Structure 1
Amino acid sequence: MNRLVTRQSRLRKPSRRELALFALLAAFIAVIEPFEPYDWLQSSVTAAINAKDYEGNAIIVAIDEETERNLPSRSWTRSELAALLTKLGQSEPEVILVDQQYFQDEDSSSLAELSAALEALPERPYWHVELSPEAAGSLSESAPAMDADSFVDSSAALDPALANRVRPAVATMRSYAFGAPIFVPLAVEQDGGPVPSFATILAGGTRGAERNVINVDLSYRPGTIPSVSAAEVLAEDFDTSVFENRPVIVSFTSTLGRDTRDTPNDTYTEKAAVWVMAAETLIRGPPRVLGWVPTFLIAVLAGLAWMYLPRPYGRIVAGVAFVGIALSPIVFEQHLIFVQTSHGLFLLLILAIAKLWQRGQGAVRTYRSAAETKSRFLAQASHDLRQPIHAIGLLAERLSQTDLSDDQAKLVSKISWSVDNASRMFRALLDIAAIESGTLQTDIRPVAMNELLAGIDSQNALSAEQANVDLRLVPCDLMVRTDPALIGTMIQNLVSNAIKYSPGKGVLVGCRMKAGRLAIYVVDNGRGISSSDMEHVKKEFFRSSRKSTLSSENKGLGLAIVNRLADMLHVKLTLRSEEGRGTVATIEGLEVVEQEDAKAAANADRPLPLSGLRVALADDDEETLASTRGLLEQWGCTVQTFAQLPEDLPDCDILLSDYDFGGGSTLAGRHDLVLQAEETGTQIIIISGHHPAQIRETIASHSGLILAKPLRAAELRSALMAARQG
């Protein structure tokens, strides 16, 4: 009992929505029948797989091309048929069936000759009766079989000259695409009563068939059905014992499309051969048709098992059921048990598609959740670690400007290098997190290239000087439509990489028109990128396998950020490099806009004195506050410090402020200070660990600089000089 409870508890419990959708799907497939072509195709494939030789005793006398070539008039006439029937009658066949005839003569003498030949036969032959479209269309696959004992011997549809000398028989059939299936009737209701079909005559009766229309077993190879050319019979070039006590069908076989049918084992199968197959089906059967219900019920049970059983058992049951249903015709139809599988197969197939879609949606939701969690974690971690690193950088900068011994100066230099390295890493992580989370939005507007290049020059002048790199920027008076902050970040990353990997050499930044748009080039003659690394350098955290003293600084994020920003700005980043000779990085596709009064930007790398600059410094971190104050005073600034945002704007030139002061207090809540700064012309520079895009969303009226922590001293000095100048 405990085991039973345990097993039951392991069953899945599908939601009501799943069960309702499954029930709706099953009902929809059960009500309509849109999949019949699949059953036809499967029946054709099954017949070809189960192909077998005909071993019955029926024989076909073929009125073929050879027959017509040997005729005196080169055409088939009633006289020729009379001669053929006379010679067949002498062979004492069991029964003769004459299929539809196409005569060329109309004279009464040939008709009298045919009547005499029919009269002389030991047994009246069966003659093909043409059905009207109404009679052919009235054939029902579910109608009960007609009584074999009540078949009429004559029909008003026959030629009066032949009516008393032949017995009527029908040779109609219904075929579908792919050569299968083919349905034939056992009998057709005509004037005076039911008329037997060729299949019934050849089989010697209805053989206990329950339905009047049967599905023909098409697995017989048509080439194995005995056939003799009528030319050989007319020339008496045959063994008369061939026809003795055998059913004989006289039929045209020369006109393709009219006297042939497509079947699985032969594209041009004689209609007479199809009737032989139908008769053999009756003799071996009669066939049973299970329809679509049994396989559909199996599919329903397999679908429910798939929904209730735990993985992977449900899928195994459904898979076994699918394969079993698909292969069942191959097993059953060779025993004349015809089954339709399309309903069951399509039910399981659609259920599988629905489950794959459901799993795909779940995977997408999981991925999105994981990506958002990762982005939030990176943003929060980089923000929290920026503050202490920022303070360490300022303290190291102050310490480097004191009296130090050579060993102490080297230690401070290494500390500064480590802080700069960590700062770049956290800034890159925050940028990637902002891009992935979607918080980074573009602000497209006209941007003067000279102003953009001047900012790049000021940001990289110090690092270029320290690396002994000749950094040159070619002025460009054009204006482009783009996001100034994002395009600036892209160029800055490229220039920073170029300086880093070209120590003691040169870096050139310039612009050129290309295909009607502006392209920005960053060219260096440094060590270059190997061909094996070129296809990977744009990926996150990729680091070259080559040994380098700079490898510890390379976190593999710079080009990844540039590549993602290029997608956001709808521009193209291309790299061309030759190992040992340098690299050319190109930002292509910038839209050029007209400028009415463009002024060249001032050279930002020209040092401007900061002495006398009045700075109000607001930061809730004591160490950061003290370190920044000492650094500003060393540069000649007059500094006022505030541990919290001041009630009123101090008398100053620049308010250098943090954004978040803890306890829910942020600069966004002090719109009065921003308003006072606008009225007095005081510039506000924000230094924060939050992403600039988030800050600008909360302080829409602020158009000044927003610097990201951790901040290098050179960046702060450049910002102060630019603010004082502008």
Structure 2
Amino acid sequence: MDETAEQGGPRERELAAENDRLKKICAALIERVESSGVAGGAPYAAFEHAVLLAEQVRERTEALHRTLDELSQVNVRLRDEIAVRVATERRLREAKAEAEAANLSKTKFLAAVSHDLLQPLNAARLFTSALIEQDMPETSQTLAGHIGRSLKDVEALLGTLVDISRLDAGVLKPDIAPFEVSELLDVLAEEYRQIAASRGLALHYVASSTVIESDLALLARVIRNFLTNAIRYTSSGHVLLGCRRRPGGLEILVGDTGPGIAEDQLGTIFEEFKRANAPSASQDRGLGLGLAIVDRIAAMLGHPVQLTSRPGHGSAFSILVPNGKLSPAPARPVTTEQVPAMAGLVGKRIWVIDNDPAICQGMAALLGGWGCQVVVAPSQPVLERTLATGAEAPGADVLIVDYHLDETEPDGLTVAVNLRRRWPGLPVILITANHDVMLKQRARELGYGCLLKPLKPLRLKMELMRLCEA
């Protein structure tokens, strides 16, 4: 008890005693609270920590509610965006369907137009080839040669247009079959030997009889582009066409002694409308689409293409084709040495069925120039009536028939089947502008030859000689 309390009256001493008693109670309560806390810890600190945690929980709960509100708003915007994207996707699908329909329509239109264009072009090529083989003054021969080359340019441009359209539309399907590579290269060698000679170049050809497996028409398109470019960009020297055996198949190679291709152009010349820079007077004939078509066809066939070049020394393009296996006893192909010899066709009886009068006249002129006895007709009944009124006994060494005849007449395959019932074993060559794979397979199964329009006279000559000597 302090001094003031001791000196005061009874009331002050009483209050002081009460104060002491309350202090003792408070100390006891504090001690009890602390003794009931966490073992080994500071109970009051734990209490403060609990209060702090409660405050943090409250704050985080409020933040969570705010986040949920924001997420709700984001979800609303997201649903709106999804609705917009769904509508956009629907419009894109509709636009894609319209584009595909337009592309298919374009492809069908180009196919129809190309067929109509190929008919007179085919006739013109036949007439020109027949004219070139006639005895004419040198001036006339030169003019006829110019006409023939111009027609070849038209054919190449038209073929490029149709090929690009078919490749883009995905309607060009490969017709894979085994054949001797000489069946392809012998024709190309003879054809491009003449073209190279007209440019003052020599074409060296290394023949091969290796059997490969590919689409003959599409592979021919690739090799033609190689040869055309080699001759186009080579001003002097020679062009090489040959084959090399590789572990993965047969490599068909076209090399030249031209200016070569700069290293910075090697990766771009296979793009559309890209051409190597070369000072050639005939360079303007190209559209820069040839190697783009080569790249697409090779990718579709699965045949790797390779390019090597040294500026100032020349270039070499090659394509690797897998080996194949022929059925037993294939017909022996005609070699290039046999092509100039016309004796093999002199006197051969050839029937031609085509509903285009110009083509019939052109075939008669061309085949007649080769020494053949030709009978032309627009249909099977007309041919049979012509044969019935003829003085010679009916029969032919080869039948050449167009696939698309008049709408009221059966197609060329049916006509050939009908005629072979009467003349068993009659050799048949089907002529068509239709590149459908099933048609070529059907003709091959029937044992018929199949040539595409516009008809290449050299290819026809070699096929005729093959069939006549079989």
Residue 613 of structure 1 corresponds to: 348
Does the CA contact (< 8 Å) of 1:498 and 1:524 recur in 2?
yes
Cα shift readout 1:396-453 (whole Å, capped 9, x = no counterpart): 3444456756655444333222111111222233333333333333333433334443
Residue 401 of structure 2 corresponds to: 657
Residue 636 of structure 1 corresponds to: 371
Distance 2:41 2:125 in 1: 118
Distance 1:161 1:720 in 2: 112
**From 509, 528, 535, the counterpart of 2:260:** 528
**From 216, 223, 229, the counterpart of 1:497:** 229
TM-aligned CA deviation for residue 618 of structure 1: 1.4
Question: In structure 2, do the counterparts of structure 1 residues 679 and 399 end up closer, same or farther at CA, with 3 Å as the change threshold?
Answer: closer
Does the CA contact (< 8 Å) of 2:430 and 2:443 recur in 1?
no
Question: What amino acid does structure 2 have at the position aligned with 1:670?
Answer: T
* Mapping of residues 504-583 of structure 1, within 5 Å: 505-583=237-315
Question: What amino acid does structure 1 have at the position aligned with 2:462?
Answer: S
Q: Given the alignment of the two structures, is residue 681 of structure 1 paired with residue 425 of structure 2, yes or no?
A: yes
Does the CA contact (< 8 Å) of 1:677 and 1:684 recur in 2?
no
Residue 414 of structure 2 corresponds to: 670
Residue 706 of structure 1 corresponds to: 450
Does the CA contact (< 8 Å) of 1:118 and 1:166 recur in 2?
no
Identity %: 25
Question: What amino acid does structure 1 have at the position aligned with 2:47?
Answer: A
Q: Given the alignment of the two structures, is residue 626 of structure 1 paired with residue 361 of structure 2, yes or no?
A: yes
Distance 2:24 2:245 in 1: 99
Does the CA contact (< 8 Å) of 1:692 and 1:707 recur in 2?
no
Task: Give structure 1 stretches of 5+ with no counterpart.
Answer: 1-115, 126-152, 173-196, 204-211, 218-285, 299-340
**From 39, 59, 62, the counterpart of 1:215:** 59
Residue 65 of structure 2 corresponds to: 289
Larger RCO, structure (CA 8 Å, separation 6 or more):
2
Equivalenced residues, count: 436
Distance 1:656 1:199 in 2: 99
The alignment partner of 2:260 has SS state of: coil
Question: What amino acid does structure 1 have at the position aligned with 2:375?
Answer: Q
Question: In structure 2, do the counterparts of structure 1 residues 496 and 665 end up closer, same or farther at CA, with 3 Å as the change threshold?
Answer: farther
Does the CA contact (< 8 Å) of 1:572 and 1:587 recur in 2?
yes
Question: In structure 2, do the counterparts of structure 1 residues 600 and 657 end up closer, same or farther at CA, with 3 Å as the change threshold?
Answer: closer
The alignment partner of 2:274 has SS state of: coil
Does the CA contact (< 8 Å) of 2:254 and 2:316 recur in 1?
yes
Cα shift readout 1:290-315 (whole Å, capped 9, x = no counterpart): 5646763x5xxxxxxxxxxxxxxxxx
Question: In structure 2, do the counterparts of structure 1 residues 462 and 651 end up closer, same or farther at CA, with 3 Å as the change threshold?
Answer: farther
Question: What amino acid does structure 2 have at the position aligned with 1:713?
Answer: P
Residue 4 of structure 1 corresponds to: none
Residue 155 of structure 2 corresponds to: 423
Residue 379 of structure 1 corresponds to: 111
TM-aligned CA deviation for residue 701 of structure 1: 4.0
Question: In structure 2, do the counterparts of structure 1 residues 687 and 552 end up closer, same or farther at CA, with 3 Å as the change threshold?
Answer: farther
**From 35, 41, 47, the counterpart of 1:169:** 47
Distance 2:57 2:151 in 1: 91
Does the CA contact (< 8 Å) of 1:124 and 1:166 recur in 2?
no
TM-aligned CA deviation for residue 573 of structure 1: 0.7
Q: Given the alignment of the two structures, is residue 716 of structure 1 paired with residue 448 of structure 2, yes or no?
A: no
Does the CA contact (< 8 Å) of 1:477 and 1:600 recur in 2?
no
Does the CA contact (< 8 Å) of 2:260 and 2:314 recur in 1?
yes
Distance 2:109 2:319 in 1: 31
Q: Given the alignment of the two structures, is residue 198 of structure 1 paired with residue 52 of structure 2, yes or no?
A: yes
Does the CA contact (< 8 Å) of 1:692 and 1:708 recur in 2?
no
TM-aligned CA deviation for residue 660 of structure 1: 1.3
Question: What amino acid does structure 2 have at the position aligned with 1:377?
Answer: F
Question: In structure 2, do the counterparts of structure 1 residues 157 and 571 end up closer, same or farther at CA, with 3 Å as the change threshold?
Answer: farther
Question: What amino acid does structure 2 have at the position aligned with 1:581?
Answer: H
Question: In structure 2, do the counterparts of structure 1 residues 628 and 484 end up closer, same or farther at CA, with 3 Å as the change threshold?
Answer: closer
* Mapping of residues 350-369 of structure 1, within 5 Å: 350-351=82-83, 354=86, 357-358=89-90, 361-362=93-94, 364-369=96-101
Aligned residues: CA RMSD: 4.2
Does the CA contact (< 8 Å) of 2:353 and 2:401 recur in 1?
yes
Does the CA contact (< 8 Å) of 2:402 and 2:412 recur in 1?
no
Does the CA contact (< 8 Å) of 1:379 and 1:429 recur in 2?
no
Question: In structure 2, do the counterparts of structure 1 residues 443 and 642 end up closer, same or farther at CA, with 3 Å as the change threshold?
Answer: same
Cα shift readout 1:646-686 (whole Å, capped 9, x = no counterpart): 47596211112222123253525625636717962222222
Cα shift readout 1:111-160 (whole Å, capped 9, x = no counterpart): xxxxx999669x969xxxxxxxxxxxxxxxxxxxxxxxxxxx97996369
TM-score by length of 1: 0.52
* Mapping of residues 66-145 of structure 1, within 5 Å: none
Cα shift readout 1:574-602 (whole Å, capped 9, x = no counterpart): 11223332111111363466999899854
Q: Given the alignment of the two structures, is residue 158 of structure 1 paired with residue 2 of structure 2, yes or no?
A: no
Does the CA contact (< 8 Å) of 1:450 and 1:600 recur in 2?
no
Question: In structure 2, do the counterparts of structure 1 residues 117 and 289 end up closer, same or farther at CA, with 3 Å as the change threshold?
Answer: farther
The alignment partner of 1:495 has SS state of: helix
TM-aligned CA deviation for residue 632 of structure 1: 1.5
Task: Give structure 2 stretches of 5+ with no counterpart.
Answer: 1-22, 388-393
Question: What amino acid does structure 1 have at the position aligned with 2:400?
Answer: L
Question: In structure 2, do the counterparts of structure 1 residues 626 and 582 end up closer, same or farther at CA, with 3 Å as the change threshold?
Answer: same
Question: In structure 2, do the counterparts of structure 1 residues 444 and 707 end up closer, same or farther at CA, with 3 Å as the change threshold?
Answer: closer
Residue 389 of structure 1 corresponds to: 121
Question: What amino acid does structure 1 have at the position aligned with 2:467?
Answer: A
TM-aligned CA deviation for residue 525 of structure 1: 1.3
Question: In structure 2, do the counterparts of structure 1 residues 700 and 613 end up closer, same or farther at CA, with 3 Å as the change threshold?
Answer: closer
The alignment partner of 2:283 has SS state of: coil
Distance 1:692 1:508 in 2: 32
Q: In terms of Rg, which structure is larger?
A: 1
Cα shift readout 1:592-634 (whole Å, capped 9, x = no counterpart): 6699989985423422322111111112222221222122212
Cα shift readout 1:460-509 (whole Å, capped 9, x = no counterpart): 34334444433233244543333334333322332343234335532222
The alignment partner of 1:462 has SS state of: helix
Residue 18 of structure 2 corresponds to: none
Q: Please identify, of 442-451 and 346-355, the stretch whose mean Cα deviation from structure 2 is larger.
A: 346-355
Question: What amino acid does structure 2 have at the position aligned with 1:691?
Answer: H
TM-aligned CA deviation for residue 368 of structure 1: 3.0
Question: What amino acid does structure 2 have at the position aligned with 1:439?
Answer: V
Q: Given the alignment of the two structures, is residue 696 of structure 1 paired with residue 440 of structure 2, yes or no?
A: yes
Distance 1:471 1:545 in 2: 23
More helix by share: 2
Does the CA contact (< 8 Å) of 1:477 and 1:598 recur in 2?
no
Does the CA contact (< 8 Å) of 1:444 and 1:481 recur in 2?
yes
Distance 1:363 1:117 in 2: 92
TM-score by length of 2: 0.76
Question: What amino acid does structure 1 have at the position aligned with 2:37?
Answer: L
Q: Please identify, of 476-485 and 550-559, the stretch whose mean Cα deviation from structure 2 is larger.
A: 476-485
Question: What amino acid does structure 2 have at the position aligned with 1:631?
Answer: L
Residue 320 of structure 2 corresponds to: 588
Cα shift readout 1:57-94 (whole Å, capped 9, x = no counterpart): xxxxxxxxxxxxxxxxxxxxxxxxxxxxxxxxxxxxxx
